[in-house]
Chain A
Amino acid sequence: MEFNENFILGCSAIGAGLALIAGIGPGVGQGIAAGYGASAVGRNPGAKGDIMSTMLLGQAVAETTGLYGLLVAMLLLFVKPLLP
């Protein structure tokens, strides 16, 4: 079956948009981490530095899945692997 180039580009754009749904998960995860970090600082303000670094590390690891979605979207939009 033959497809028009414009059709493939449009579908790639839709796919790129759908790939960014992956951003929901890291958003929720990072928010939970930040919330627990804030409550931990509230309970023990002396340990603020340790809590901050642990929280940032966990958030950065949680962010990875969202970034994979972003990369898929970037590949679809700019590298255009689906074009013949």
Chain B
Amino acid sequence: MGQGILLAGGNVDFMIHGVFSYELFGQTLWITTSHVCIFIVVLVLLAFFIAAGAIFRKADEIPGGMQNAIEIIVEFLDGIANGAMGKSAKGFRNYVGVLFIFILFSNISGLLGLRPPTADYGVTLPLGVLTFSLVHINEFRYNTVWSIWKDKCSPLPPWLPIWLPINLIGDFAVPISLSLRLFANVLSGTVMMALVYGLLSKIAYAWPAALHVYFDLFSGAIQTYVFCMLTMTYIASAIGDEEDPVLIRWIKKRKAAKTEKAGENA
């Protein structure tokens, strides 16, 4: 008992399994199927990146074949970064591009019979935490502490920080909702496909391909796009309207004051 609840067909399986266990500081840890799948995805991506680098080392003026395809991919990724972040896209294009390709390959690896690595909360939560730390590092780089404090108390005046805890909870909800959205979407597709193959295995010929197109390709691509767009939107709104980081603005101000003083003396 206990397992019989969904094992009507006897072979419904979408769980993460341990491959082998090892001891670290007295804890038993497991290398799971998620690790294996993420390793395969990363290997494929590395091979792709190395091949792309080799092609671009002898790139032609007039692109052809593979060079053309890679240029289209890079232009598309730069395009969504520029569209969502505007002036501050320059520093984040590479991160968002790599994030996009990684999540996309992870999501569509279900087509190849892998269990998608993003259907493991241990993969999506670090992605959410990366976004969270990028947002707040850039918030402190581009805004003074006083303006951040004013922003955190925002509907009320800054000397009355009653609204502060609510704004802080809103900030901490960002990585959780980001990672849970990606995780639950990919997991629901995985569970659906496992149910179709497990319970309808007698008649599951050819037509599950249509479900794969929806759950793996369409849903995976949409969720990838949404994750990257939300990451960029949060970072762009944390940066705000400022052109330069706080430190550089301060140095420029000092320099301007100095030249003004020198002008007065002369």
Contacts and interface: CB of A to CB of B under 8 A. Distances in A.
A67 B2 contact: no
A56 B185 contact: no
A34 to B, nearest CB: 13
B191 A60 contact: no
Contact of B185 (A5, A57, A67, A80): A67
Chain B, interface SS category: helix
A80 B6 contact: no
A5 B2 contact: yes
Contact of B226 (A57, A68, A70, A77): A57
A74 B191 contact: yes
Nearest to A10: B5
Interface residues of B, number: 21
Nearest to B177: A64
A71 B5 contact: no
Contacts of A70: 184, 188
A78 B225 CA distance: 29
A51 B180 CA distance: 25
Contacts of A5: 1-2
| 8 residue pairs, one from A and one from B, having the closest CB atoms | A67-B184, A60-B226, A64-B181, A71-B184, A57-B229, A70-B184, A64-B177, A9-B5
Interface of A: 5-6, 9, 13, 53, 56-57, 60-61, 63-64, 67-68, 70-71, 74, 77-78, 80, 83
Interface of B: 1-2, 5-6, 15, 83, 177, 180-181, 184-185, 187-188, 191, 222-223, 225-226, 229-230, 233
Given A57-B230, A67-B185, A78-B6, 5 more contacts: A6-B1, A60-B226, A60-B230, A70-B188, A80-B2
